[in-house]
A and B are shown apart, each in its own frame.
Chain A
């Protein structure tokens, strides 16, 4: 069994990062230009890392599946980015941000990484502003902040509802500058299908050129994965259509451990599913819950009439409405954390009170707020969100309550990394949502952007030099090594196998099926029996896919169905690992709710004695069960306590 050691310096938490930086080995400029680094993914983490590594003088190759780096899905983040600047003089500091993040993660994150993240956060804002990110400002010309996700301070920086977009454009322009200077070479429209190891070290990748279908070999002294999350395992999620787990999954199969795969975040305020052919769920900012009240009818008769559109929600009198969050959580009401709000909505819908034609929606009602504050005030706060809702649903939320339902939004799990963000494969790094490290079992709002940029701009550039300082005598890696030959062979064979499948169902058919299994049995709440059932269903699905998939088009051409097929195959395998992880974790924490482990009044019941660990899975080959390795979590600065929102 692998011994997992984070390897943070053994000094007090607050001194770890400066101590690390003081002691880490550097590479001199002459040697940097002899070293090649591959960065996969160009979202906030990937673009910022590639730009910074290029600026430092390394030879960088950046890969993305999109047509340009600027489209990576970081772009869709709406709310904001946290930083412990304390510009509002409201008592914020590094420790508090660290504390909130560890607590919000339900005590399943690694303290040392989180503390570093919090301490770096102010620098991120400085850099982004210098790059020209147009953050919201006060009339005095200084930066504005807002509060977010139930914290007690205002530490969130934002650019209207498009913070992710603006930060990504900042990182993309920094990357573009390095591309222009020749420091970074960009490979767009490429899928990374395998990671190549030579003598146990990550030395390159196998890419498929999505336009020509060509299989390419790329070699380097180190490989950085910044490939985002795996929410698309649920088919319907707020992720982009192309978001996939494939590069991380191939790393897992080459020996990198995959940690906490069952930790997925379900966002409570998404636009509900309308029908079978729906391809995507759209998230609406959590801020809506500041003024909206969530309810379903008290009587099932009313539910029936609503579903048949015989009555409108506004026809239901106050006395016949069940404001279930206010009822169950009088102290926090509609502002309970994401996981709690999501589960409560599912509970009502499962009990038969869901209001849309699909029965999977609850109301988010602004009529009280409009009566109290006036339509203008509500329009000023949420105008763009209301407009977006109306565009998608064709209902006017000023008049009739919005319908919302939870949707998969973010995955806290990912490749296991140490303090240096290196996976268990030497020379293979994972940054951003792709790794598991900072958010524990639940991510706080406005923390994902912070982590992606911290990793890319400020952490990886230091930690990778420690590794590369040992590689300065390694000549450029040849792509004709037998390891590359073998990888190309296995990739080509798998592609040919997919191409030759002679079934009759489209890839989407299987993806939808997988999504339903995962959502039903490994979604917002899970139980032993359901998870066991999911395991066998996934096994069946695997066999069905192999026997019955149909992929038109050829290998050597632009073939989106082929791309999807490869990704879905990986998702099916990942789904199985998620279920295993959920089975193993016999407790409820953050986004992972096991029905067997709840308090008498239905709240998550954590088990710190037995489960205060990171569950990292090791691939053991086709047909063998993966092995679980535990990294015990030590809490020195924050003492775990039961979360309560009553």
Chain B
């Protein structure tokens, strides 16, 4: 197969960047999108041109490293698929393919198609955990969890943190990502203990990092490679409202030893 590629090239964060056109041929329809880019890079290296940088790692759809905005859609044209699991047979022979990095102020471009998603780490650090230490934990079966809750929790926990939700959102909002984590833990008895605190801190951090707001366009749900549902956003809103209205205020208690 042959393709015309219009790829965003940007030397570093300070560079302005722009689209550059490349042609590739002799691409197997069974190649993955990255294998096609690998092939392009082999040509570029042979010509002494700096190869195209892109984020990728596991290449089996689970690590969430890959992040390409292909022809106007994060992770390309297939539903429920990461870029690494996208194969060239999903494109027409001779097609022109636009490849761009995720676009969001909170995800600055590092080089070419690579963006810095550490904002997501900061949101998790704000409360995306259950505060337990390793040690002194009661037997696992002392915390029964209804199967339906556990399954729903898993559905939310399946998030791979790739950022496609932010990339697709007309407002570059991170609500689907944040709500997936809030839901994952809010649905489990273990996570309920600090649910009010968690949702307030995570939302505050999300807002402070410069993501947009949710206007319920639901592009995130349509593009999420793990098909995380926007009902999680509603759950987060619910949790947030309830926490703001009803949660006990935290007191600073000083203990002298």
Contact = CB atoms under 8 A, between A and B. Distances in A.
A and B interact: yes
A162 B60 CA distance: 12
B132 A130 contact: yes
Interface string B42-65: 101110111101011111111111
Nearest to A551: B45
Interface stretch (B150-158, B216-224, B228-236): B150-158
B124 A274 contact: no
Given A162-B62, A176-B125, A240-B59, A134 B140 contact: no
Interface stretch (B92-100, B112-120, B168-176, B245-253): B112-120
Contact of A130 (B53, B58, B190): B190
B38 A277 contact: yes
Nearest to A276: B28
Interface of B is mostly: loop
B255 interface: no
A75 B130 contact: no
A560 interface: yes
Given A142-B141, A180-B125, A131 B57 contact: no
B185 interface: yes
Contacts of B103: none
A280 B59 contact: yes
Interface stretch (A66-74, A578-586, A611-619): A66-74
B34 interface: yes
Contacts of B44: 552
Contacts of A99: none
B129 interface: yes
A134 B58 contact: no
Interface in A59-89: 66-73, 75-76, 85, 87
Task: Indicate the size class of the contact surface on chain B.
Answer: 35 or more
A553 B48 CA distance: 9
A141 interface: yes
A48 B57 contact: no
Contacts of A558: 12, 53, 110-111, 114
Contacts of B42: 506, 508
Nearest to A283: B60
A552 B51 contact: yes
A536 B255 CA distance: 69
A179 interface: yes
B129 A177 contact: yes
Contacts of B4: none
Interface string B126-169: 10111111100111110111110011011001101100000000
A55 B154 CA distance: 27
Interface string A137-165: 11111110000000000000001101001
A176 B34 contact: no
A278 B140 contact: no
Contacts of A162: 62, 158
Nearest to A211: B110
B134 A165 contact: no
A561 B51 contact: yes
B25 interface: no
A351 B188 CA distance: 54
Nearest to B81: A391
A142 B146 CA distance: 8
Interface of B: 11-12, 28, 30-32, 34-35, 38-39, 41-42, 44-46, 48-51, 53, 55-65, 81, 85, 87, 89, 110-111, 114, 116-118, 120-121, 124-126, 128-134, 137-141, 143-147, 150-151, 153-154, 157-158, 160-161, 184-185, 188, 190-191
Given A73-B57, A143-B141, A508-B42, 5 more contacts: A75-B62, A137-B145, A179-B121, A394-B30, A506-B45
27 contacts: A66-B63, A66-B65, A67-B65, A67-B117, A76-B58, A125-B140, A126-B137, A126-B140, A130-B143, A131-B130, A134-B153, A137-B145, A137-B147, A137-B150, A141-B146, A173-B124, A173-B128, A174-B129, A179-B125, A240-B63, A241-B56, A277-B28, A279-B34, A280-B60, A394-B30, A506-B46, A552-B45
- The list of the 7 closest CB pairs from A to B, nearest first, reads A141-B144, A173-B129, A134-B154, A129-B140, A280-B59, A180-B125, A126-B137
